[in-house]
Structure 1
């Protein structure tokens, strides 16, 4: 069959042109045209027609590029000048701010206040606890033991439990003794300062001056008058400009005239003089007047010289008032025999030159000028040396770190240095045994005797009961003023060996040759306030049925680490099976609470039960 092309849609017309092919369908009243140019709908009647596009055709767009115009040379120059002007104004404002701050700092030193010296308070040592001591002891005793060496570790822990209370008591007593020594030294220093001891006063003042802008040095004390040399800033070190205001009211920098510079320097010197006097009086409560001389480098000769001196009293300085920077110049009016190299002219203006003062009326300063010049030979003292000393005025005693006198001794060190004292039976002791070097002799007590314990004993007591002939147990009762325990936990015996968080503790019983010794540790200062008494008692073993009369060579031994020791030999009473041997009790004297020790030696026939009931323990 041959190729054929047929248009079979009624009313369709096809139009072909150079713009493409378009097809129209429908009558003229409602015709749709498709093809090139998009889809449109048209309607026409007679000579009139209208059409509308049903799609979006492509639109031709065009862009127009704008040509950039470079700034002219005049514009660039104008911008450069504006930037330079802004930078200059910023630098000027910064310089003005720096100069204003410098002037404020150098002329307002006297506005500072210095707290007056007070008696020094020595801080106490750190607080130690039984848990800490036990940890240190266990670390020492467990060192080198394997995890699976259970028996050895258990024995090591028992040894640690025995050593810990003694270690704690020893360290607390030692630290308390160190604190007492430091407090005594501080008290002696304060008394020397108040008494105007020359070395003490000069050291205290120079240490206070060590951070001053205008360095000062205390050089001597005569009665209640202190002599001080002060180093004033050289006038040549001041800037040559100062802030000013233009006729139009704008801030500016202007050249500082010689007279204005002299006024600035004089105000600065007065401010430093007043501040130096205020600080020196604050540090030295016994000083009533200060002779002060000011040293500086003279602008014309560049040699050191004195430019001001005088005497100022404590009353004049403390009366003030010191509120404004201009108050610094009042140093010229409130002192005695004041001389200053800056004088007032006949017209009322300040002199613009600074000349050295005539020191012939002051032998000390004149001698310094005569024998210590800038050009002294090798090995000779110079004013420049004094200048250097003033600029580096930090006492050597404070430049090196001080040793820590509150250092805690490691447990191993204590173990090597300290051993628990072994009580000697009273009958075996020689009647006149010499005291050990550095230790107080043992005090033997009689029944009913009492004495005041030293403060060192409050920090740690070791108690040892030594006996032969029968078995006995050591017990402690922590009671109130009525002699009764507040609870059963305040009863310390073999089944309850510790109370008051370890402040009272039994250390165990050990053989010592033919004797048996049971020890206890007591920290009186750590006891709660409601515990007013600590009774030390013994009771015979109930299974033996023996009385205290079966004990031979029985002795109670008590001592503290500082060496003070007391011993008491209780009576061998055959009618009692329990006995209160001694007691520690609080006592108030002159408003101060102290601890005292009393020897007792009284007992109960019904043994431990009667002893416990007498002290308020519930016995069932």
Structure 2
């Protein structure tokens, strides 16, 4: 509560546009074959040969079209990023307030940027109420035994004041770090007053970037320096003539600051009124922190690949696309048990769809493209949420979303398009590190796999409370009767230290 000002905040920098995912002809050919071979039986040799010929003709066009489209998308993103950065550094009000409020959204004392005047940013901060502070503090008895001591009113007030100062300084530091063109911040602090239980302003002032950045912040007590390094600082907690802190907190006079008075005059102080309430400022700003301001939709992958079927329908040149036979109806999936293996049909090599579904907690799907020794050749063969594509598109994460009572994350793997160095595909899940939860928190977890022929497989990994990352299944090359084959093995074993341990075990450098 009194040390948040000791943390540092990285300075904003121009947005870095991610590189395009590499795409290769083997991937495009596998996509095209999956499309053209749909509904053609294994014994229809002539039809299958013709379908493969059509796929070869389409693959290079599809690859060129997708590469050009994604390059154009990257150029567009780069232009938008440059435009946003210029608006931020030139102190465009909407841009600065949106960026700062996004940065503030996870703060213990919520801050809200409300305006920009030149290079001065205005912020309102909601401080914890004094009545919500603990009334006791750890201590020792005369004999040295641990105990709890009741706080005096002045000690409680000092604790609250230090907490408020710490939050003020942290808010100022984060605001300056987020908005590089801002040179000063006008900040006012709201809290619920102990005597009236109504909101009131208990501190305000102006703090410059130079004052905040030149002041050393080393100890919790340094938080009280906010009173001395600001301009026209006013605070409800004052020092008496005897040098003690005042034991009462009264609202500040805001008549000389019309904006603050107007804010209070229009505030709704009843949380259940159904209207926006300043009393709920700290709650409302802390919700949906993973969603961009003003947008209820999740962030999507800007480099999402256009499916071959969609591209084929829109392709401007060439003969009109042939409508493929409808895919075979799905059959009941083959349920696997831990350690069980089976040979995948050849049709599954062109396009294998997999989905991991679960509820009860959050987890992420991860793929490793490894050699026979179970280790990746390069970090590019490690496919996870920050790098959703590998092997020139042959293995790709395609998104995670809620479906009914479950969360489902999907991926596609074109086994036929994998380079020869990839002898094994490891399918794994890892728990969200920040929650501290284990795989035992996952309920109804299941891996589903299928291909266009309708063949399907399913495996329910164990809900192991001792691990945070798990290899659910493996796909690996094999030889049968002298010919190549791919096999599927159900695993369900893992590591206690989540993604780091999982990655290290498969040769990824996580230093």
User: TM-score, normalization: structure 1?
Assistant: 0.49
Determine whether 1:236 maps to 2:131. yes
C-alpha spacing 1:377/1:155, structure 2 compared with 1 (3 Å) = closer
Q: Give matches, 1:337-352, under 5 Å.
A: 337-352=232-247
Q: Point out the structure with max Rg over C-alpha.
A: 1
Determine whether 1:416 maps to 2:313. yes
Determine the C-alpha separation between the residues in 2 that align with 1:281 and 1:412. Answer: 49
C-alpha displacement of 1:143: 2.1
Determine the C-alpha separation between the residues in 2 that align with 1:420 and 1:373. Answer: 62
Determine the C-alpha separation between the residues in 2 that align with 1:141 and 1:375. Answer: 63
Contact kept? 1:244, 1:254, Cα under 8 Å: yes
Tell me the residue number matched to 2:155.
260
Determine whether 1:407 maps to 2:304. yes
1:61-94 Cα offsets, whole Å, 9 max, x none, are xxxxxxxxxxxxxxxxxxxxxxxxxxxxxxxxxx
Determine the C-alpha separation between the residues in 2 that align with 1:378 and 1:136. Answer: 56
C-alpha displacement of 1:335: 0.4
1:414-442 Cα offsets, whole Å, 9 max, x none, are 111013379xxxxxxxxxxxxxxxxxxxx
Determine the C-alpha separation between the residues in 2 that align with 1:266 and 1:369. Answer: 22
C-alpha displacement of 1:403: 3.4
Q: What secondary structure does 2:94 align onto? A: helix
Q: What secondary structure does 2:311 align onto? A: helix
Contact kept? 1:231, 1:390, Cα under 8 Å: no
User: Which residue of 142, 165, 190 maps to 2:37?
Assistant: 142
C-alpha displacement of 1:393: 7.8
C-alpha displacement of 1:244: 2.5
Tell me the residue number matched to 1:312.
207
Contact kept? 1:228, 1:290, Cα under 8 Å: yes
Stretches of structure 2 that go unaligned for 5 or more consecutive residues are: 320-391, 393-511
C-alpha spacing 1:231/1:152, structure 2 compared with 1 (3 Å) = same
Determine the C-alpha separation between the residues in 2 that align with 1:348 and 1:309. Answer: 22
C-alpha spacing 1:226/1:131, structure 2 compared with 1 (3 Å) = same
Contact kept? 2:20, 2:71, Cα under 8 Å: yes
1:181-237 Cα offsets, whole Å, 9 max, x none, are 111111111111111111111110111111111011000000100000000001111
C-alpha spacing 1:247/1:380, structure 2 compared with 1 (3 Å) = closer
C-alpha displacement of 1:348: 0.6
Q: Give matches, 1:460-479, under 5 Å.
A: none
Contact kept? 1:206, 1:217, Cα under 8 Å: yes
Q: Give matches, 1:251-400, under 5 Å.
A: 251-372=146-267, 374=269, 383-384=278-279, 386=281, 389-390=284-285, 392=287, 394=289, 396-397=293-294, 399-400=296-297
Q: What secondary structure does 2:115 align onto? A: strand
User: Which residue of 108, 116, 120 maps to 1:221?
Assistant: 116
C-alpha displacement of 1:141: 1.9
Tell me the residue number matched to 2:400.
none
Determine the C-alpha separation between the residues in 2 that align with 1:235 and 1:374. Answer: 17
Determine whether 1:169 maps to 2:60. no
Contact kept? 2:192, 2:199, Cα under 8 Å: yes
User: Which residue of 181, 189, 195 maps to 2:90?
Assistant: 195
User: Which residue of 129, 137, 140 maps to 2:24?
Assistant: 129
C-alpha spacing 1:328/1:130, structure 2 compared with 1 (3 Å) = same
Judge which range, 110-119 or 364-373, deviates more: 364-373
Tell me the residue number matched to 1:114.
9
Determine the C-alpha separation between the residues in 2 that align with 1:151 and 1:381. Answer: 69
C-alpha spacing 1:153/1:249, structure 2 compared with 1 (3 Å) = closer
C-alpha spacing 1:386/1:172, structure 2 compared with 1 (3 Å) = same
Determine the C-alpha separation between the residues in 1 that align with 2:148 and 2:182. Answer: 46
C-alpha displacement of 1:373: 5.5
Determine the C-alpha separation between the residues in 2 that align with 1:377 and 1:164. Answer: 60
Contact kept? 2:110, 2:282, Cα under 8 Å: no
Q: Give matches, 1:590-609, under 5 Å.
A: none
Contact kept? 2:141, 2:147, Cα under 8 Å: yes
C-alpha spacing 1:391/1:148, structure 2 compared with 1 (3 Å) = closer
Contact kept? 1:206, 1:393, Cα under 8 Å: no
How many equivalent residue pairs? 318
Q: Give matches, 1:467-506, under 5 Å.
A: none
Larger RCO: Structure 1 or Structure 2 (Cα < 8 Å, ≥ 6 residues apart)?
2
Determine the C-alpha separation between the residues in 2 that align with 1:372 and 1:415. Answer: 57
Q: Give matches, 1:405-444, under 5 Å.
A: 405-420=302-317
Determine whether 1:208 maps to 2:124. no
C-alpha displacement of 1:350: 0.6
Contact kept? 2:36, 2:54, Cα under 8 Å: yes
Determine the C-alpha separation between the residues in 1 that align with 2:27 and 2:72. Answer: 20
C-alpha displacement of 1:171: 0.6
Contact kept? 2:102, 2:293, Cα under 8 Å: no
Stretches of structure 1 that go unaligned for 5 or more consecutive residues are: 1-105, 423-500, 502-620
Computed over aligned residues only, the root mean square deviation of the Cα atoms, in angstroms, reads: 2.4
C-alpha spacing 1:136/1:326, structure 2 compared with 1 (3 Å) = same
Determine the C-alpha separation between the residues in 1 that align with 2:242 and 2:144. Answer: 30
Contact kept? 1:215, 1:393, Cα under 8 Å: no
Tell me the residue number matched to 1:154.
49
Contact kept? 1:209, 1:393, Cα under 8 Å: no
1:272-302 Cα offsets, whole Å, 9 max, x none, are 0000000111100110100000000001111
C-alpha spacing 1:154/1:336, structure 2 compared with 1 (3 Å) = same
Determine the C-alpha separation between the residues in 1 that align with 2:279 and 2:251. Answer: 16
Contact kept? 2:271, 2:279, Cα under 8 Å: no
Tell me the residue number matched to 1:588.
none
Determine the C-alpha separation between the residues in 2 that align with 1:376 and 1:402. Answer: 31
Determine the C-alpha separation between the residues in 1 that align with 2:109 and 2:143. Answer: 39
Q: What secondary structure does 2:294 align onto? A: helix
C-alpha displacement of 1:263: 0.4
Contact kept? 2:270, 2:279, Cα under 8 Å: no
Determine the C-alpha separation between the residues in 1 that align with 2:272 and 2:140. Answer: 52
